[in-house]
């Protein structure tokens, strides 16, 4: 049955693609993608022959390491007769790539093909995430949402519920406020030999796993969603300078520091999957992260948790429990602005094919961890049963905010990665001091640019495709 | 010389054991992680007993054409080493033998080629190789690595050639050898340890280099170091595959160094005592 389903889906993808590109329309065209070993690419790479059969265009996907990839894209887009026509794009790169003119403006194509793209079915923020100055320069291949994963089995255990209510005076439930989140983290932090859900612990158990590492600015990925949840902004609207050191930023940094005692002892080195590994092994009670890895919590081949407990999913907390201004992000495909017109047309056909709703549904059915961005897929009851976190992704999109997309995003991640890491390590006395240090460094770099340019860099006009 | 006491012997072995632990622990971590199932990769304390899996090795070769990338690394490293030894030793011989007051400046100029930070020249290299159609070819990397390795070889070999008495070459000339023939049959064999040392340094640099290989290659000429790092994506760092790949790419370097070892020890110490 599964195979029949896959075959039907593959067929529907083929039919959909045939609707837009005649068979053999791009005979002789060879496209190369500057890609990455990300699920948004690795699921597509083995089936690019299907695209060649449909359109005649041959596609080769090369995979490179994430560190250094943006530099390679910029260099590649600086040459005439480029080697790569297709680019994999992480949404914070939009400012750098938009300002350098590396990527083709897709706006007019998207408007022209809106019906074919099922544009109304795509979550708007995932499109906005790929805009620079209102123009769409990349198209989403995976949409990310920052959310919290927790041990549903522990939260539902009667002994734990009773003990929590005795200690904190309210019911144990997934945190809606940061104070609740800290309480829960404290409550579940236990030493080996203590009891957890009726079992004696063989090793320490932690209330939370947070990225505190300064490497590649990992700590900022946790800090910014918290800052945004307090209503914080990256930039000052009037000067275009750093605004991270304001009240919301300070509160966010203090939340992170208060959570330190409830993290694993190697917290200063926690980053990316080293951190998510704690949740995947079921060794922590709760942890926030991008939705791109959440699928692992449903797969016993990739995580221990499904075999010893159950994961629950919820939006990130806020200061007052109101709707979270969730952080979003997009992993996308763009077209090299230096490619020839014919290559650009073929590349656009490939993007439409590889990110189409039918293709995304096919990936979901095949068990791929591609983080979805079509409303109809995220709301599909059958898929929601299989991927319970889809509901959270769907609910939080309406209040989601863009990630940082400033051309100086890498400087921000680097500078604040160090300053925040020093603060949580106790090397800086206060959150205010750490953030002010960070803003001072960033502003020193920004002030050499005219005000008009700085304001343009932070502008986020509604994408022209929505007008 | 007195025979060391039991206490001294134990102390020596203890120190050796500590040194071995320090040096071999990373290798052990790489090796064990390469066969460790993903879910327990970062378990604390580290899982010492587990059912090993070959999944990471299988994925390494099935997800990417890793064997081809290893082949690219070998071509580039051996090519650059051979190129650098040839031209570096000839340059060193000239600097060693030609007596001219500006020769020191020439030697320094050659050395200064190593002083460029790679990132500063990567864009010009990209444009040059793109223009001449060498982008994404092993030859491009061989040329670039040779620009770094030739100065090193020149300076290393100059020291070795300085140690070879010119009287030997004069004797060879009396026997009818020309300049190049004397160099080939007399001087170079005596400087063989220097060649071995240079070869090892050139090979290791070319084998491990990352920035140029990342920026100037695509799938055709991608080297093993870049391929291993490509398992670092935006949503995961696939440590199991990275560890498996790392262990594999250590092997050719070890074989190369072992091959050169018998000349290496003499080469490293030659000239240390007058």
List domains and CATH numbers for chain B.
57-269 (1.10.3720.10)
Share of chain B above pLDDT 70, in %: 96
C-beta atoms of B230 and A37 within 8 A: yes
DSSP string over A205-230? BBS-------GGGHHHHHHHHHHHHT
* B191, B160 contact by CB (below 8 A): yes
Say if residues B225 and B211 touch (Cβ distance below 8 Å). Answer: no
Inter-chain Cβ pairs, chain A and chain B, closer than 8 A: 90
What are φ and ψ of residue A334, in 5° steps? -130, 170
Determine contact: A46 vs chain B, CB below 8 A. no
Look up residue A81 and give its two tokens. Answer: 């007769």
**pLDDT digit string (tens) for A132-145?**
999 999 999 999 88
Check if B53 contacts A (Cβ < 8 Å): no
Q: Best interface-test mutation with B: which of A33, A60, A63, A264 has the largest number of B CBs within 10 A? A: A63
- What does the DSSP 8-state code read for residue A334? E
The predicted structure's pLDDT at residue A141: 96
A303 touches chain B (CB under 8 A): yes
Please, which pLDDT band fits residue A324 given cuts at 50, 70 and 90? low
Tell me: pLDDT of A19 over 50. no
Instruction: Give pLDDT, residue B86.
Output: 96
Chain B positions in Cβ-Cβ contact with residue A42 (cut-off 8 Å): 63
Cis peptide preceding B45, ω within 30 of 0: yes
Overall average pLDDT of the B148-161 stretch: 92
Q: Look up the CATH architecture of domain A2-144+329-399.
A: 3-Layer(aba) Sandwich (3.40)
Assess whether pLDDT exceeds 50 at residue B25.
yes
User: In three state form, how does the secondary structure of A375-403 look?
Assistant: HHHHCCHHHHHHCCCHHHHHHHHHHCECC
Domain residue extents for chain A? 2-144+329-399
Residue A18 pLDDT class (50, 70, 90 cuts) = very low
Nearest-CB residue to A38 (from B127, B218, B235): B235
Strand ranges (E), A44-94: 58-64, 86-90
Q: What is the mean pLDDT of residues A367-382?
A: 90
Residue A8 has pLDDT above 60, yes or no: no
The mean pLDDT value for A72-82 works out to 86
- Which chain B residues are Cβ-neighbours of A290 within 8 angstroms? 235
**B interface test, pick of A37, A39, A63 with most B CB neighbours within 10 Å:** A37
What are the CA-CA distances from residue B230 to residues A37, B125, B208, B223 (Å)? 6, 22, 15, 11
| A13 has pLDDT over 80 | no
Over the stretch B214-234, which tens digit does the pLDDT of each residue have?
999 988 999 999 999 999 887
Residue A328's φ and ψ, nearest 5 degrees, are -120, 170
Pick the closest to residue A422 from A432, A409, A407, A434 (CA basis).
Answer: A434
A331 Cα distance to chain centroid: 7
Given pLDDT bands bounded at 50, 70 and 90, which one contains residue B236?
confident
Give the nearest chain A residue to B123 (CA atoms).
A75
- d(Cα B154, Cα B89) in Å, to the nearest integer? 6
State whether residue B106 sits within 8 Å of chain A by CB: no
Question: Chain A residue with minimal CA distance to B230?
Answer: A65
Of B40, B127, B234, the CB nearest to A38: B234
3-state SS, residue A135: strand
User: What local confidence, expressed as pLDDT, does residue A1 receive?
Assistant: 47
**Distance of residue A291 Cα from the nearest chain B Cα, in angstroms:** 9
């Amino acid at each position: 049955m599964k195979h029949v389903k896959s075959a039907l889906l593959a067929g529907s993808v083929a039919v959909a693609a045939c609707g837009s590109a005649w068979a053999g329309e791009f005979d002789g065209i060879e496209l190369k993608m500057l890609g990455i070993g990300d699920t948004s690419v690795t699921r597509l790479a083995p089936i690019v022959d299907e695209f060649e059969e449909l359109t005649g265009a041959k596609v080769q996907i090369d995979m490179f390491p994430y560190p250094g990839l943006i530099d390679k894209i910029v260099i590649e887009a600086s040459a005439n007769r480029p080697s790569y026509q297709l680019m994999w794009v992480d949404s914070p790169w939009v400012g750098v790539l938009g300002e350098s003119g590396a990527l083709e403006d897709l706006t007019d194509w998207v408007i022209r093909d809106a019906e074919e793209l099922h544009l109304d079915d795509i979550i708007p923020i995932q499109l906005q995430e790929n805009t620079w100055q209102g123009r769409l320069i990349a198209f989403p291949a995976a949409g990310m949402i920052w959310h919290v994963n927790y041990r549903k089995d522990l939260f539902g255990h009667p002994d734990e519920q009773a003990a929590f209510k005795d200690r904190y005076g309210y019911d144990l439930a997934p945190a809606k406020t940061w104070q609740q989140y800290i309480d829960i983290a404290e409550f579940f932090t236990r030493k080996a030999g203590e009891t957890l859900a009726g079992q004696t612990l063989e090793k320490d158990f932690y209330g939370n796993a947070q990225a505190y590492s300064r490497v590649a600015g990992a700590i900022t990925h946790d800090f910014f969603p918290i800052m945004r949840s307090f209503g914080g902004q990256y930039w000052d609207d009037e000067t275009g300078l750093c605004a991270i050191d304001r009240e919301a930023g300070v509160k966010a940094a203090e939340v992170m520091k208060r959570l330190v005692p409830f993290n694993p002892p190697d917290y200063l080195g926690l980053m990316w999957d080293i951190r998510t590994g704690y949740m995947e092994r079921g060794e922590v009670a709760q942890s926030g992260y991008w939705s791109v890895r959440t699928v692992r919590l449903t797969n016993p081949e990739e995580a221990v948790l499904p075999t010893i407990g159950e994961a629950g999913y919820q939006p990130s907390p806020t200061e007052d429990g109101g709707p979270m201004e969730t952080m979003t992000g997009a992993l996308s495909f763009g077209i090299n602005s230096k490619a020839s017109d014919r290559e650009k047309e073929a590349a656009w056909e490939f993007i439409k094919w590889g990110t189409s709703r039918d293709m995304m549904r096919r990936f979901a059915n095949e068990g791929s961890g591609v983080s979805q961005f079509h409303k109809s897929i995220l709301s599909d009851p059958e898929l929601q049963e299989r991927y319970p976190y889809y509901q959270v992704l769907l609910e939080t999109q309406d209040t989601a905010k863009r990630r940082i997309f400033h051309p100086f995003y890498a400087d921000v991640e680097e500078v604040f990665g160090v300053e925040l890491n020093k603060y949580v390590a106790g090397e800086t006395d206060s959150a205010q001091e750490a953030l002010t240090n960070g803003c001072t460094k960033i502003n020193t770099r920004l002030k050499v640019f005219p005000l008009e340019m700085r304001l343009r860099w932070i502008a986020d006009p509604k994408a022209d495709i929505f007008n | 010389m007195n025979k060391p006491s039991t206490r001294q012997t134990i102390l020596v072995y203890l120190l050796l054991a500590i040194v071995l632990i320090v040096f071999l622990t990373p290798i052990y971590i790489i090796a064990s992680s390469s066969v460790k199932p993903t879910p327990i990769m970062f378990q604390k304390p580290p899982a010492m007993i587990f059912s090993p899996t070959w999944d990471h090795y299988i994925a390494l070769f099935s997800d990417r054409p890793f064997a081809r990338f290893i082949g690219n690394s070998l071509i580039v490293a051996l090519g650059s080493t051979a190129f650098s030894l040839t031209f570096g030793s000839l340059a060193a011989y000239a600097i060693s033998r030609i007596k001219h007051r500006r020769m020191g400046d020439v030697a320094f100029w050659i050395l200064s080629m190593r002083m460029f930070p790679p990132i500063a020249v990567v864009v010009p290299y990209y444009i040059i190789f793109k223009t001449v159609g060498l982008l994404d070819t092993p030859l491009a990397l061989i040329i670039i690595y040779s620009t770094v390795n030739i100065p090193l070889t020149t300076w290393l070999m100059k020291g070795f050639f300085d140690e070879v008495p010119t009287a030997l070459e004069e004797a060879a000339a009396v026997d009818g050898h020309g300049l190049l023939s004397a160099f080939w049959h007399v001087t170079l064999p005596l400087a063989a340890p220097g060649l071995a040392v240079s070869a090892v340094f050139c090979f290791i640099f070319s084998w491990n280099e990352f920035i140029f290989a990342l920026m100037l290659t695509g799938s055709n000429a991608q080297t093993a170091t870049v391929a291993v790092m490509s398992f670092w994506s935006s949503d995961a760092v696939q440590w199991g595959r990275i560890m498996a790949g790392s262990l594999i790419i250590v092997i050719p370097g070890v074989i190369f160094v072992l091959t050169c070892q018998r000349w290496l020890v003499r080469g490293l110490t030659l000239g240390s005592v007058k």
